[in-house]
Amino acid sequence: MIITKTIKIKAKEGEYLDITEQVQNCVSDSKLKNGAVTVFVVGSTGAVSTIEYEPGLLKDVPGALEKLAPSNEDYEHNKTWGCDNGYSHVRATLLGPSLTVPIVDEKLTLGTWQQIVFMNFDTRDREREIVLQMMGE
Amino acid sequence: MIITKTIKIKAKEGEYLDITEQVQNCVSDSKLKNGAVTVFVVGSTGAVSTIEYEPGLLKDVPGALEKLAPSNEDYEHNKTWGCDNGYSHVRATLLGPSLTVPIVDEKLTLGTWQQIVFMNFDTRDREREIVLQMMGE
Amino acid sequence: MIITKTIKIKAKEGEYLDITEQVQNCVSDSKLKNGAVTVFVVGSTGAVSTIEYEPGLLKDVPGALEKLAPSNEDYEHNKTWGCDNGYSHVRATLLGPSLTVPIVDEKLTLGTWQQIVFMNFDTRDREREIVLQMMGE
């Protein structure tokens, strides 16, 4: 069985959102007992991963990314297109748009302190589509 | 249904290639209506992700990786094996060899400005195998 | 067919372990001919990727991560919770907990010099669960 759900997320500039409950709800609605869900970010300035979703790390992770792809640097992307989100694209490519999580007994196999996080790296508020592709039986 | 395709890619030293069309063509040929494709890079000096494939970012992403794993540094890998591609391996491990993209109505669910990119981090031209594992119905 | 296996891994502080053989053994036991296996790290201080598993790179990759998320920095996570593994969490989020590898003719489609590596970024020895979700026919 294959079930597709598209969730729409409003995210502020640089916001990291815990989407675990939304993903788990879609999995529960799907009636799949076992399988996997691929969480896929449509667009090239956002990414998905897992994190212990707490206020400290919501500063620490952006802090590390600020070293890797600083927001105030000159990017060729910005020069070419007259925009300001070169660093957003770089971060998105390095982290990647997809995550696959197993489903066992109707539940995501996440740890207690492990949440699914959508990261909007863009320089403005965005509404983003995230495709959940659930496969299993 | 499970359909496997292996595509062979010739990539120059440090080249980033847009393989979206090749992946979409394989998906179309597979006749799958819904499912997912896993794009998997065979080898340990290349990676796959998504990007807005345009000339600016093709300089910006390598620029960020040059900070993270500089090409001119001394790597233990190089000292041990007498080679020069330690940084290529480091970049490949950090970015990862696999990407899973949903297929909905026979199409990859990519954004308009989001392409699938194969990154050859190696220090010489390589022919690389990329396995496309398509599953669905 | 969907087959789930959970493997338990004892990993020392900062240890990187080659789990290729364990994953391949589970795939072989599953009797799947074609499909894919998702390797998923339960918890938020570890990650999975592929690497040429040799002693040089086992120093080079941690070396690059030490620049990206230094172990001796002040992290908000540490200040908030009185712990010392802020950098472990940051590294885990940046690398990601999941990897999907195609199975073709009962074998993982890895390159000769490409192994599956579990990275325990945590500051103490951990026993970790890794879920292998195998799907195929």
Query: Would residue A12 be called left, alpha or beta, if left means φ above 0 and alpha means ψ between -120 and 50 degrees?
Result: beta
User: Could you tell me if C67 and A74 are in contact, meaning their C-beta atoms sit under 8 angstroms apart?
Assistant: no
Predicted local confidence at residue C95, as pLDDT: 98
Burial (CB count within 10 angstroms: exposed 0-12, middle 13-18, buried 19+), residue C114: buried
Would you call C80 and A54 a contact, using CB atoms and an 8 Å cutoff?
Answer: yes
Question: Count of residues for chain A?
Answer: 137
Domain that holds residue A127: 2-136
Q: Rounded to a whole number, what is the distance in Å from the CA of C82 to chain B's nearest CA? A: 28
B90: phi then psi, degrees, rounded to nearest 5:
-60, -45
Provide the pLDDT for residue B67.
Answer: 95
CATH number of the domain within which B119 lies: 2.60.120.460
The number of beta carbons lying within 10 Å of the beta carbon of residue B125 is 12
Q: What is the pLDDT of residues B79-129, one digit of tens each?
A: 999 999 999 999 999 999 999 999 999 999 999 999 999 999 999 998 999
User: How many CB atoms are located within 10 Å of the residue A82 CB?
Assistant: 7
CB proximity C20 to B under 8 Å: no
pLDDT, average across residues C22-33: 98
Render pLDDT for B40-83 as a digit per residue (tens, 0 to 9).
999 999 999 999 999 999 999 999 999 999 999 999 999 999 99
* Shortest distance, CA C81 to any CA of chain B (angstroms): 28
Contact in structure between C14 and C121 (CB atoms under 8 Å): yes
Calculate how close chain B gets to A54, using CA atoms only, in Å.
Answer: 24
Overall domain count for chain C:
1
What is the residue whose two structure tokens read 């910005």?
A: A78
Residues 93-112 of A with CB under 8 A from C: 94-96, 99-104, 109-111
In sequence order, what are the beta bridge partners of C35? C103, C136
- If 0-12 CB within 10 Å is exposed, 13-18 middle and 19+ buried, where does residue A21 land? exposed
Q: Distance of CA A5 to CAs A2, A26, C17, Å? A: 10, 7, 36
Q: Which of C30, C60, C106, C112 to mutate to test the interface with B (most CBs of B within 10 A)?
A: C60
Cα angle for residues C17, C18, C21 (degrees, 5° grid): 140
Q: What is the ipTM of this complex?
A: 0.97
* Chain B residue with the nearest C-alpha to that of A85: B57
**What is the full per-residue pLDDT of chain A (137 aa) written as tens digits?**
999 999 999 999 999 999 999 999 999 999 999 999 999 999 999 999 999 999 999 999 999 999 999 999 999 999 999 999 999 999 999 999 999 999 999 999 999 999 999 999 999 998 999 999 999 99
Residues C93-121: tens digit of each pLDDT: 999 999 999 999 999 999 999 999 999 99
Cα atoms in the 13 Å half-sphere on the side-chain side of A117? 28
C117–B contact, CB cutoff 8 A: yes
